[in-house]
Structure 1
């Protein structure tokens, strides 16, 4: 059986860690292309100036236009060549990070998130958009980032909703990895084709990935609420440190090497509803996790544990919490049809999936979450 584990070369996390960015730049050379929104760069300008001087390196600010599009990637690739840059830095949120990955194509890329809203920083993939901001395609690279550098004080200073959304994405990691373990599904490992088979069959998840996914869930339950309070007060505490690691590292390694399943497929289906567009990825994934648990016929204690956690940090537990106050039969059908397309991760679940059981699970999860939020118990 072919297994695979995917990870960045280095992950470094700590207070004021951005001051050491120059050290990692000098492992590749003296000049780095810096991709980030100008507002994010301005916010950490003093740290960038300090680390550049200390380590005698230069940051070439790319003038990022805010969209990870094919045209922007090509422009920045040319800029990196013209300026003789030795590495690429993605600083900020998801689109700046993904653009840096696309420009670097898996070579000498340093990822510096300024929020802990997703587990994307550690991965070897990116999402491309059109110039207008619509989804275009996924991009995959030969390896994960060379360095992921997390400054926990910068994360603490960001709006708390980003941290909570990151917990929503991380919440699904264990349950989706568990489903992949049970179904022996392939993960998207970006590996070469099998020599004897002559075709690309991917790889199965490792025990290590499942262990990290499990630890991710345990960490959220233990420290999630305390981490939220710390972030509200813009302070770095052990709980916040742990949850940042869960949101980014444990969830990142857990999803990429453990596999996606129902929760993320439900998220993807829900995105066709315009009402959900103002909600973050992790907020929709949190509700998707509840839908997956209904699909699995999870035990009442497990459902209660997940619902209690979501309510303790203010994550969505019903459709209304992600903007969907009412859903028509036509809309429900459209969501379910998107969920079950052949390329979706829903098919990693360890049982057959149909349009009808997806629709039933969405409505049941919505009802369970709504009633539990109002009454603190399960009702019919």
Structure 2
């Protein structure tokens, strides 16, 4: 099997870049179907409409209904056809990005992704995570290609609540450790081949950037500033993690996240917050060294990512419910099979309990 790396056709990041969308989009379509939340519309509608004045291009706004599920994807496709649009644009967070990519895939249309937050690594990937209407993970939808354009306006992202940026760090935290596990096992990445040295290098750079700039970026965003550290973390959360996870591969952390989606007490958490605990659980499964565990847990504590059941919303975790999550994580259709050793639900349950114990130990 060949080594493979894939990426979006174009990635553009910088302050004030949203105003330049017409210049990029004109190469892809003339009537833009813009999928956006109600709150996102309030934040950027005026800027978007002003940017498209006198361009001969048209914007059709469609409010996202909240979940990346089969029903919503079909609804968006119908609205795209009804309005005779020729380009899908997803403006917002991960679920909007994945819904936009899926809708464009089924409509055979190009797609532009515009993050307004840096909370996941969804923008760059040729992958949509499909959930049920109630938010339980169902499957991965692998797409024919990555987005045609990812446009990142760092002024907009820096203005979002810091918890969203931190959630993105939690998602990005898994990138290196999962890619490393996939490379060790000889498994295939989401790109359909074995990880390239380039993908592994990007995944490692992602982790190093989090350690170097994570705390500085969080503090800057809380102070209302878009510093170089913020720019670096936005790139790590969005691009480095996006290429790193897709072409490096997924393993334990994201499968454990998917298992946690069956626990209602965790539904209030963002994707990256659950992935961070999944990363710690994967490291326990691997029996990682004390120094590395201290480094990862220390980072999570410094930026505010969960390391205990209590921080996940489970003050008194139920053993049967944790086992249900462990069984779900070990589904043969999920990515725990990419670990370099066989993993059973009993091992995942024990690793989650061990991760919680470590988190409590370091906090005390």
Into which bin does the TM-score normalised by the smaller protein fall? over 0.9
Greater Cα shift, 137-146 or 177-186: 137-146
Which whole-Å CA distance do the structure 2 matches of 1:352 and 1:335 have between them? 17
Any conservation in 2 of the 1:25–1:57 contact (CA below 8 Å)? no
4+ residue segments displaced more than 6 Å? none
Q: Which runs of 5+ in 1 are unaligned?
A: 190-201, 375-380
Counterparts of 1:293 and 1:118, CA distance in 2: 21
1:154-165 equivalences under 5 Å are 154-165=156-167
* Corresponding position of 1:236: 226
Q: Which residue of 2 aligns with 1:119?
A: 121
State how 1:60-139 maps to structure 2 within 5 Å.
60-105=60-105, 107-130=109-132, 135-139=137-141
Query: Cα distance 1:80–1:327, how it changes in 2: closer, same or farther (>3 A)?
Result: closer
**Residue aligning to 1:299:** 289
2:137–2:258 CA contact under 8 A, matched in 1: no
Q: Quick one: distance in 2 between partners of 1:70 and 1:292?
A: 30
CA contact (8 A) 1:107 1:146 kept: no
Q: Which residue of structure 2 lines up, in the alignment, with residue 196 of structure 1?
A: none
**Is this contact kept in 2: 1:333–1:359, CA < 8 A?**
yes
Q: Is the 8 A contact 2:190 2:250 kept in 1?
A: no
Decide which moves more: 96-105 or 8-17. Answer: 96-105
Q: Is 1:255 matched up with 2:245?
A: yes
Structure 2 contact 33–62 (Cα < 8 Å) conserved: yes
Corresponding position of 1:316:
306
| 1:270–1:135 distance in 2 versus 1, CA, 3 Å | closer
Structure 2 residue aligned with 1:153: 155
Deviations 1:174-204 (A, max 9, x none): 0011111111111232xxxxxxxxxxxx421
Task: For 2:80 and 2:147, locate their aligned partners in 1 and report how far apart those are by CA, in whole Å.
Answer: 17
TM-score by length of 2: 0.94
What secondary structure is seen at the aligned counterpart in 1 of 2:53? helix
CA distance in structure 2 between the partners assigned to 1:168 and 1:110 by the alignment:
24
Work out the number of aligned pairs and report it.
Answer: 362
Q: Which residue does the alignment assign to 2:25?
A: 25
Q: Structure 2: how far apart are the matches of 1:101 and 1:56? A: 25
Question: Secondary structure of 2:190's partner?
Answer: coil
Q: Distance in 2 between matches of 1:52 and 1:341?
A: 47
What is the alpha-carbon distance in structure 2 between the residues aligned to residue 130 and residue 54 of structure 1? 41
Q: Say which is worse superposed, 359-368 or 241-250, in terms of deviation.
A: 359-368
Paired with 1:19 and 1:275, the residues of 2 have a C-alpha distance of: 40
CA deviation string 1:324-371 (max 9, x = no partner):
122233223222212222122112111121233222211111111111
Match of 2:332 in 1: 342
Q: Deviations over 1:223-264 (max 9, x none)?
A: 000000111122210000000000011111111110111111
Post-superposition shift, 1:68?
Answer: 3.4
Residue 270 of structure 1 and its aligned partner are, at CA, apart by: 1.9
Name whichever of 85-94 and 242-251 sits farther off: 85-94
Aligned to 1:180, what secondary structure does the other structure show?
Answer: helix
- The two structures have a TM-score, normalised by structure 1, of 0.90
1:353 equivalent among 320, 328, 343:
343
Structure 1 or 2, whichever has the larger Rg, is 1
Q: Is the contact between residue 186 and residue 205 of structure 1 (CA under 8 Å) also seen in structure 2?
A: yes
Q: 5+ unaligned residues in a row in structure 2: which ranges? A: none
Secondary structure of 2:89's aligned partner: strand
| CA shift in 2, pair 1:83/1:318, >3 Å | same
CA distance in 1, matches of 2:148, 2:262: 35
1:279 to 2:281 alignment:
no
CA contact (8 A) 1:23 1:55 kept: no
SS at match of 2:151: strand
1:22/1:54 contact within 8 Å kept: no
Shift of 1:372: 0.4
